[in-house]
Amino acid sequence: MVQYAALRLPSALLVLVLASVVIFGILRLTPGNPAVVLAGPDANPATITSIEHDLGLDQPLPVQYLRWVQGLVTGNLGHSYVLGAPIATLIARGAGNTLELTVGAMILALLLGLTLGILGATTRNRLAQFLLMVVNTVTFAVPTFISGVVLVLVFAVTIHLLPPGGQLSLLKDPSLGIQFLILPALCLALPVSAVVARFLQTSMRQVLQEDYIRAAVAKGLKRHLILLRHALPNALPPVITVLGIQVGQLLGGAVIVEAIFAWPGLGQLILHAVLSRDYLLVQDLLMLGVLVFIVLRTAAEILQAGLDPRIRLMG
């Protein structure tokens, strides 16, 4: 396994280096630069030149690149050009908020998905089955920017039950914070809950055909007991697997959900960073994404190799 890991690492490093070059290069290709944004609309060209100098943007590109990589390697992410704040702080805050949102969404998705999935697997009422299918199709297909608008329209604009957007830390004020969290988390959770429900329904139906369930029924156990104690735990594994895959989807969905609900997470951070040409911040964010992806992937590969000796033999 160690040998395999040693084989895998250079290729992972190569991908990282390539990704860093691509990310750096692409950003420098974009028209507009952060000095212009910083200088403001009324500034004159001399101001921009001197800000560029201050930020080191007048250095040759290879020098800028090496400086950036040096910072990354030594764990110094630098300061945001436009906001002035340390990037590590910005990313930590954004990640915390996005985590709060995605965890909230995950919990809601599980609650909704499990309920609907169990209902779908057990109900024999044709109309109920049909309705559940409609709900499932719609929640799966409808983009978050539509469900988000509907949620705002219903819960914030029409019945004034929940705020239409904004965020308050759950740690700071749990009871108010949760009210800000509900709508965006629900919006993000809907498509995932549809997937969970679908998988659970299929897997539950299979489990319900198993002999031990029939035995339990024959023993005269209560229906809900059979479902929750016996069938559900055995039907869950495929659902868990698919949920793992959906986490990536959640992060993508978060970009739009954060925009609708003014949620100050990573999605908002990257959107604003790109629009204000905050190079360093964008570079760091994208590299972080690639890094997380590569680490997870390489770890998975190495683990697999540990479990399956055949893979070890192949490059």
Partner 1 sequence: MAQAGAVDIVRVPDRLAFTRNRYLRALQTPRGLLGLGLVGTIVLLGILAPLLTPYSPTFQIRLQELLPPSGTHPLGTDELGRDLLSRVLNGIRVDLIVAVVAVPAAAILGCLAGLLGAAGPGWWDTTIQRAFDVILAFPAIILGIAVAAILSPGERAIVVTILLANVPIFGRLSRDALISQREREYVVAARLIGVSPVRVLFRHIFPNVVDPLIVQLALSMSLAVFLEGGMSFVGIGIQVPQPSLGNLLNEGLPYLATNVNYAVGPMLTLTALVVGLNLIADALNAGVLRR
Partner 2 sequence: MAIEDLMQQRVSRRWVVKAGAAGTLFLLTGCTSAANSGAGTSSGPKKGGTLHMAQVPDIIPSGLFGQNFPNTAVGRLVYNTLTEYDHKTLKPNPSLATSWQLAGDGTSLTLELRKDVKFHSGRPFGPGDVIFSIQNIQDPKRASQLRSTAAVITDASGSGSTVKLRLSHAASNLFDLFEIMFIVDKDTLPDMLSGKNLNGTGPFVWKQWNPGDSVALTKNPSYWKPGRPYLDGVELRIIPQAQSLLSSLQAQQTELALGLAPKDYVGLKNNPAFTTQVADTGDAAYYVGCNVKVPPFDRKEVRQAVAYGVDKERILKEVFSGVGNATSIPWPKSSPAYTDTAATHYSYNPNKAKQILQSAGLTNVQAQLAFNSGSPPLSPMAQIVQFNLQQIGITTQTVSYDAAQFIQKLQAGTLPGLWVNVHGFSQLHPATLIVSAFPFNAAKNASNLNDPVYVDLANQAFRASESSAKAVYQKVTDYLLDQQFVIDSVISPGTFVSVNKFKNFTYNMFDYLDFDEAYLA
Q: Which residues bind partner 2 (CB under 8 A)?
A: 31-34, 36-51, 53-54, 79-80, 82-86, 89-90, 93-94, 152, 156, 159-167, 173, 175-176, 179, 261-262, 264, 268-269, 275-277
Q: Between residues 94 and 113, which has the closer beta carbon with respect to partner 2?
A: 94
Identity of the residue, 51 or 116, whose beta carbon is nearer to partner 2 in the bound complex: 51
Can residue 5 be called a binding residue for partner 1 (CB under 8 A)? no
- Nearest CA-CA partner of 254 in 268, 242, 240, 274: 268
150 binds, among partner 2, partner 1, none (CB under 5 to 8 A by kind): partner 1
- Give me the least distance between CB of 252 and partner 1, in Å please: 2
> Which residue of 78, 86, 177, 289 would you call a contact of partner 1, by CB under 8 A?
289
Residue pair 179/92 in contact by the 8 Å Cβ criterion: no
In the complex with partner 1, the residue whose CB is nearer, 216 or 286, is 286
DSSP letters spanning 58-81: TS-HHHHHHHHHHHHHTT---B-T
The amino acid at 212: Y
CA pair distance 263, 186, nearest whole angstrom = 13
Which residue in the set 113, 120, 253, 265 belongs to the binding site for partner 1 (CB under 8 A)?
253
CB of 233 to partner 2, least distance (A): 37
For the chain, count helices (H), then strands (E): 14, 0
Partner whose footprint covers residue 264, from partner 1, partner 2, none (CB < 5 to 8 Å by kind) = partner 2
CA nearest neighbour of 78 among 89, 87, 90: 87
Smallest separation, CB 48 to partner 2 (Å): 6
Q: What is the 3-state secondary structure (H, E, C) of 123-182?
A: CCCHHHHHHHHHHHHHHHHCCHHHHHHHHHHHHHHHCCCCCCCCCCCCCCCHHHHHHHHH
Q: What angle do CA 248, 18, 67 make, to 5 degrees?
A: 105
Three-state DSSP at 86 gives: strand
Instruction: Give residues with Cβ within 8 angstroms of 132, minimum separation 6.
Output: 116, 119, 120, 123, 197
By the rule CB under 8 A, 146 interacts with partner 1: yes
Residue 258: CA atoms inside 13 Å, Cβ hemisphere, count?
24
288 binds partner 1 per the rule CB under 8 A? no
What's the CA gap between 80 and 142, in Å, rounded?
Answer: 36
8 Å CB contact between 182 and 162? yes
| Residue 173 contact, options partner 1, partner 2, none, Cβ 5-8 Å cut-off depending on partner type | partner 2
Selected from 17, 43, 85, 150, the binder of partner 1 by CB under 8 A is 150
Among the listed ranges 90-98, 138-146, 180-188, 299-307, the one in contact with partner 1 (CB under 8 A) is 138-146
Closest contact distance (angstroms) between CB of 124 and partner 2 is 39
Residue nearer to partner 1 on the CB measure, 30 or 89: 30
Nearer to partner 2, 76 or 89 (CB): 89
Q: Distance (Å, rounded) from C-alpha 243 to C-alpha 116?
A: 15
CA separation for the pair 175, 228 (Å, rounded) = 31
Which range, of 64-72, 118-126, 179-187, 282-290, touches partner 1 by CB under 8 A?
Answer: 282-290
Min. distance of Cβ 166 from partner 2 in angstroms? 4
Please give the residue ranges that form the binding site for partner 1 (CB under 8 A): 11, 15, 19, 26-27, 29-31, 137-138, 140-146, 149-150, 152-153, 157, 248-249, 251-253, 255-256, 259, 270-271, 274-275, 277, 286, 289-290, 293, 297
